[in-house]
Structure 1
Amino acid sequence: MSAEESSDDPPAVGALASAFHAYRVEREGETVRYIGEPLVSPRELGEELAPLFARRGYEITVERRNDRQGAPAPYAIVAEPKSVGVDGIPWGNVIMFVLTVVTTLYAGTWWYHIDLANDPLAIVEAWPFTAAVLGVLATHELGHYVVSRYYSVDASLPYFIPVPPPIGTMGAIIRMRGRIPTRKALFDIGIAGPLAGLVATIVVTVIGLQLDPITVPGSVAQATGEGGGYIRFNDPLLMDLLADLVGQPTDYASDPTKAVNPVVFGGWVGMFVTFLNLIPVGQLDGGHILRAALGNRHETVAAAIPGLLLSLAAGLYFLTDYTHSVVLWVIWGVIAFVMVRAGSATPLDEAPIGPWRWGLAAVTVGLGALCFMPVPVEIVLA
C-alpha cells in the first residue's frame, strides 16, 4: 500500500474522477463535502466510492442539494470519519451478542432439563450448548468477515440475533458496504462462511457425540414413552455419517431416559444454517457463489429456486403426513422470491472465477446437500 493510500486524509478530488466531477470541496470540522455532479447513478456512486473512502477511515452519504453559490452542482458526497462506538467499542455488536448469550443459555436449560425455578443461577450450567451454537455461527460469519477484509471490502463485525428457545438465536449477520471488486472476490467472500461454518460444525458434532448422553427427568421420559406429544429434530445425512464414523448414536428411542448431549444440537444448527445459506438466490451465500460462477446468467437458475421450494412444500402437503413442515418451505419460497426480485451483488470486474473455484463450489454444494432435511422438525403427537 502506498503512503497516499494509507493516509488518514480524505481522497483528493482526482481520485473521484471516474464517478464524480467535483467543483469544489467544503470542510466543516471533520466532515468533508465534495460538491459536484455524479457521472453514474446516485446509488452506483455510493457503492463505487465507498471502498475508496473506507480505506481512509471515512463513511460517505450522497445528498441532493441546492447549491448556495448558484453553480449547477445538485449533489454532494458527504464524508465523515467512521465511528465504531464509544472509545472504539462496537456497542451494537456487543449488546446483541450478550443478549444472544442469555437467550441461548436459557434455551440450553430446556435441553439439559435444568430447573431454573429452584436455582436461577443454574442457567450457567448450559454453557456448553451456548458455546456450541454460537461457536458454529460465529465461525461462519467470521469467515465472511476475514475474507471481506482481505479484499478491502468494508464489513461490520457479526450481529447476533437473539430469539426464544428452543434454539435461542436466529443466527448472525454481517453488513457489507461498497462494491465487490471482482467475481473472484465475490466467490471467496460468499463461500468462506459456509466452509468455515462446516468445519466448526463437524468439530462440534464430533465432540458432542463423544460426550455422555444426558439423563431425561422421569416425568419427561414417561410422557415420551407413553406416546405424549413432543418435538423431534430430524438428522441430516451428514449427522448420520458423523455418528457412524464416531460410533455413537444420535437417537435413544429404545431408552427414553437418555438423550443425546445438547452439544450435538450445535452441530445440527450449523448444518441447517449451512443449507439455508447455500440456497442460490440474492444476498444469501449461495446467491453470491452462483453470481460469481455464472455471471449474469445466474438469473436463470435463481428464478427457478422459489418454485422448487414451493414444490417441496406442496409435495409434503399432498404426499406425506408432514404437513407442519409445509409452512417452513412456503416461507422460504417467499423469501427466495423476494431475493430474486431484489437481485444479487454486482462486482466491478466480470472476469471468470477459474476452474479450481468451480471445483471448490462443487465440493461446497455437495456438503450443503448432505445438510438438507426435507422435514427438519417433526411434531410427534400422542
Structure 2
Amino acid sequence: MPPSDETPPSAEEFASVFDAYEVRREGERVLYVGESAIPIQQLERELWPLFRERGYELSVQRGYQRTDGIPISRGEYVLVAEPNSMELDGIPRTNLLLFVATIFSTTFAGAYFWYQVPLFEKPWLAVKAWPFVVAILGVLGVHELGHYVMSRYHNVQASLPYFIPLPTYIGSMGAVIKMEGKIPDRKALFDIGAAGPLAGLAATVVVTAIGLQLDPIPAQEAAVAQAETGVRFNHPPLLELIALATGATEQLEANTIHPVVFGGWVGMLVTLLNMLPVGQLDGGHILRAMVGKQQERIAAVVPAVLFGLAAYLLVVADGIDSVGIWTMWGLFAVGLAYAGPADPIDDSELGWKRTVLGVLTFVLAALCFTPIPVEIVELA
C-alpha cells in the first residue's frame, strides 16, 4: 500500500496539464486516459511530485494494454500510477537462493583454488575456506547494501541485492540491485550512486588490512612452490598504501598472501569497474548528478579509452593476459553509453559539497586501478 495518502489524485487536480476523459483501475494501478496539454517530455516532471506526495509512482505511456493483453488505449496517452510501497513483497526467494548459491560457489573457489582442499576426497574440508567466503561476500554485499540503504533513505523503490554465483577464482560475478522507482533529484541520484562504492571501499580497506596481518596458508605456499606457472594479481596503489599503513609491505611483495587479502583486491576491482562514468554504473550516476547532461559526452569517450588500453597492453606493454578484461568492459561500456544514464525528475544543480565528494570518490576509484590486473607468470 502507499506509504502516505492512499487516495490517488483526482483528474481535476491536474486538468490544466492533462485532460483525462477516463479513469479506471487495474488492480492497485490507477489509469488516466486522455491527452496532454503540454509537451509530453514535461508532463511527467510536472505531475510526478503530486503523485509522489500521495504515495504513487507515475509513468506516462502512449497506449496501454491490460495484464490480460487486451488494449484499453491505442493512441491516447495514459498516466499509470502505481503504489510506491517500500515494504518487501513477501520472502525474497530469488535473492535468498542466489545468495546461498554464491556461498557455495565462493566456498568452492576458496577451497579449490586458494586452500588447496582435496574436494573430491574430503569435501567437508571446504569449510576451511570460510575466511575467503566472508571476505568476498563482505566487500560485495556492503557495496550493494550501501545502494539499498540510500535508496530507502530517499524513498526510491529498490530490490535487495542479487548475488551472482560463478565458480572461478573469485566465486562470484558480483551483486546487483534493481532500481524500480524513479530518482527524485540529483541529490538522490548522487547519494544512491556514491553510497555503494564508498561503503564497499570502507569494507575493502578493513578486509585488506586484516588479511595483510594473516600469514599465508601452508597449502597455498606449497602449491606455489611446486607450480611452474601461476596467476598473479597485481597490486593497485590503494592496496600498496594499505600495506604501507599497516606495516605489511614485505608480506605484500612476497609470492603468496593470505586469501583474505584477495577479497580486498576483488573489492578494489569491483569499485574501479563500477566507477566507470557510463550509463547506469555507479560512476555514471555520480557524474550525471555532478555535471548533468554533459555526462553523456564523457561516457561516449570511455569505450575508446578502454579499447585503447587493451591495444596498448597487446602491442606495447606485453600485458596480453589483461587484454580480454579491458576489451570486454569496452564492449560493455558501449552498450551502457548507448542506453544512457538515469535521469532525475528534478534536474537542479547538485551543490558544491556533493560535487567535492564526487571528485574524491573518483580519486579513490583511480587508486584501485592497475593496467594489468591479472597475468600468467613463471614461478620457477
Q: TM-score, normalised by structure 2?
A: 0.85
Are the aligned partners of 1:23 and 1:73 in contact in 2 as well (CA < 8 Å)?
A: no
Structure 2 residue matching 1:275: 3-state secondary structure: helix
Matched, 1:201 2:198: no
1:256 corresponds to:
none
Distance 1:352 1:58 in 2: 23
Structure 1 unaligned runs (5+)? 254-258
After TM superposition, the structure 1 stretch with the greater mean CA deviation from structure 2, 88-97 or 6-15, is: 6-15
Distance 2:100 2:42 in 1: 35
1:167 corresponds to:
170
2:136 corresponds to:
133
Change (3 A) 1:267 1:219: closer
Distance 2:124 2:16 in 1: 60
1:23 corresponds to:
21
1:243 corresponds to:
243
Matched, 1:346 2:349: no
Distance 2:133 2:139 in 1: 10
2:362 corresponds to:
365
Structure 1 position 35, deviation (Å)? 4.0
Are the aligned partners of 1:48 and 1:179 in contact in 2 as well (CA < 8 Å)?
A: no
2:330 corresponds to:
333
1:156 corresponds to:
159
Structure 1 position 155, deviation (Å)? 0.9
Distance 1:51 1:160 in 2: 36
Structure 1 position 346, deviation (Å)? 0.9
Are the aligned partners of 1:16 and 1:49 in contact in 2 as well (CA < 8 Å)?
A: no
Q: Percent identity?
A: 46
1:189 corresponds to:
192
Distance 2:45 2:124 in 1: 49
| Count, aligned residues | 367
Distance 2:346 2:56 in 1: 24
1:144 corresponds to:
147
2:115 corresponds to:
112
Are the aligned partners of 2:275 and 2:282 in contact in 1 as well (CA < 8 Å)?
A: yes
Are the aligned partners of 1:54 and 1:154 in contact in 2 as well (CA < 8 Å)?
A: no
1:375 to 372, 375, 378: 372
Deviations 1:59-83 (A, max 9, x none): 9895525877x99856473747969
Change (3 A) 1:67 1:378: closer
Matched, 1:234 2:231: no
Distance 2:174 2:294 in 1: 30
Structure 1 position 45, deviation (Å)? 5.5
Distance 1:183 1:282 in 2: 15
1:223 corresponds to:
226
Task: Give the residue type in structure 2 aligned to 1:127.
Answer: W
Structure 1 position 184, deviation (Å)? 1.7
1:214 corresponds to:
217
Structure 2 residue matching 1:211: 3-state secondary structure: coil
Change (3 A) 1:17 1:126: farther
Are the aligned partners of 1:47 and 1:178 in contact in 2 as well (CA < 8 Å)?
A: no
Matched, 1:252 2:254: yes
Are the aligned partners of 2:143 and 2:198 in contact in 1 as well (CA < 8 Å)?
A: yes
Are the aligned partners of 1:51 and 1:154 in contact in 2 as well (CA < 8 Å)?
A: no
Distance 1:175 1:335 in 2: 18
Deviations 1:109-144 (A, max 9, x none): 021112212221222221111111111111111111
Matched, 1:286 2:283: yes
After TM superposition, the structure 1 stretch with the greater mean CA deviation from structure 2, 334-343 or 310-319, is: 334-343
RMSD: 3.3
2:260 corresponds to:
263
Task: Give the residue type in structure 2 aligned to 1:89.
Answer: I
Change (3 A) 1:352 1:31: closer
Distance 1:310 1:300 in 2: 17
Structure 1 position 252, deviation (Å)? 2.6
Are the aligned partners of 2:23 and 2:32 in contact in 1 as well (CA < 8 Å)?
A: yes
Structure 1 position 205, deviation (Å)? 0.6
Distance 2:240 2:368 in 1: 10
Deviations 1:156-183 (A, max 9, x none): 1111111112111111111112321111
1:103 corresponds to:
105
Deviations 1:306-358 (A, max 9, x none): 11111111111111221121111111111112211111111122221111112
Q: TM-score, normalised by structure 1?
A: 0.85
Change (3 A) 1:15 1:79: farther
Deviations 1:247-294 (A, max 9, x none): 2212433xxxxx311111110010000010111111111111111111
Structure 2 unaligned runs (5+)? none
After TM superposition, the structure 1 stretch with the greater mean CA deviation from structure 2, 153-162 or 210-219, is: 210-219
Task: Give the residue type in structure 2 aligned to 1:335.
Answer: F
Structure 2 residue matching 1:176: 3-state secondary structure: coil
Change (3 A) 1:67 1:292: closer
Structure 1 position 187, deviation (Å)? 1.2
Structure 2 residue matching 1:250: 3-state secondary structure: helix
Are the aligned partners of 2:30 and 2:80 in contact in 1 as well (CA < 8 Å)?
A: yes
Structure 1 position 369, deviation (Å)? 0.8
